Amino acid sequence: MEYIVSQKLFTEARKYIPGGVNSPVRACKSVGCDPVFITKAKGASVFDADGNEYVDFVCSWGPMIMGHAHPDIIEALHGAVVNGTSFGAPTPTEIELAAMVVEAVPSIEKVRFVSSGTEATMSAVRLARGYTGRNVVVKFDGCYHGHADSFLVKAGSGVITLGIPGSPGIPDDIVKNTISIPYNNLEILEKTLRDEELDIACVIIEPVAGNMGCVAPQSGFLEKLRSLTEELGIVLIFDEVITGFRLSYGGAQEYYNIIPDLTCLGKIIGGGLPVGAYGGKAEIMDNIAPDGPVYQAGTLSGNPLAMAAGIAALKLLQRAGFYDELEAKARGFAERLQNVAGASGVPVQLNRVGSLMTSFFTGEQVTDFDSAMKADTDTYAKHYRQMLSKGIYLAPSQFEVAFISAAQSENDLEKALKMTEWSFKNLL
């Protein structure tokens, strides 16, 4: 494939945009190439500025569970946009979508819409601090909760992709109130939460880690986390920006039957438009202004376009058998992918939960941040470039998740398997 137009666009972008991109991983530095510039998407495919077509396993980093440009979502957007794009005022559609979210997500009795996952997580933490009167936030190594100051301590996603140890610009006085502990480690979990001197307000966790690659909670881990936080009066926050409405209609909390106090959601509830939400027990949510003293606001919160697209998207996800079919498709693909890896001799550990999966280039099981860091990023980079050249669009980072969508056909998945087999042979 040729990338002449994309290369010209990247050169031009770097004149005006830091690094030429508006989110760091997109620069493709960790995979040793320049980015392709996407101009169009439809169904299971994305198309770049040179006219190349790719089977898409990024899915806009998750929310395109139905595939791109689904006609029901496009129709909903057309119907909304003719009436205006933003009012900064209450709308009927935000009530409709809020009711759908409350009905769907077990932990949510009331919900507040925001404009991004980062905004949702930082607002949920502020609320937990205000509700408990405590200061300290506990997170887990390799889990990413957006780029708010409190979260960039041993974070995942682009932070580990680019090898950035936290971030300059964050005062010590802020991060001193964030503690990061190993994911899936029951002993350290209990020791930390029972330390009365720590003044812990909340624990925030990706119930399935998706930003150091896909890492599932080990048996009993979420159950112990829930029982400890309940016992100690610590607010438990599930960051379901990735897992919400993807693992099941009720998210990871329904999938594992573990109910947190607060839940954060992302762009999947807006059909892929810029939107986020946080919600939970009414007792806690009633502390948000104007009902309570914890302040949070946003002009674009509940904007009419995202609400219309979200209503259409959630209606599609309500179809009987949708999640069973997606699970069967993902499971079958993962099994065949594992067979390809095994036959190739390339050391690959495939982690999958539902329609989320990551192929780690390591011979060891990946269960936490430290084991994820043993993956061979150079080998992944070569694999990424080879797959891109054959029309398969993967995340430009070893430490991200591949997503299966309802739009991917058997032919799409078969093409990905054949190209993976070819790529693995060329890695040896």
Picking from 214, 213, 212, 209, the residue whose alpha carbon sits closest to that of residue 238 is 209
DSSP 139: E
* Catalytic position from the list 3, 54, 131, 144: 144
Residue 384 annotated among the catalytic residues of the structure: no
The one catalytic residue among 29, 110, 154, 267: 267
d(CA 82, CA 99): 24
Can 191 be counted among the known catalytic residues? no
361-397 exposure pattern, b = at least 16 Cβ within 10 A, e = fewer:
bbeeebbbbebbbebbbebbbbbbbbbbebebbbbbb
Q: At which residue do the structure tokens 């009365």 appear?
A: 196
3-state secondary structure of 68: strand
Please confirm, yes or no, whether 286 is among the known catalytic residues: no
Q: Which of 239, 261, 368, 412 is catalytic?
A: 239
Q: How far apart are CA 100 and CA 55, in angstroms?
A: 31
Question: Which is nearest to 407 in space by CA: 40, 77, 45?
Answer: 45
Helices of type H across 31-90: 71-81
| Alpha-carbon span 264 to 299, nearest angstrom | 19
- Enzyme catalytic residues: 144, 239, 267
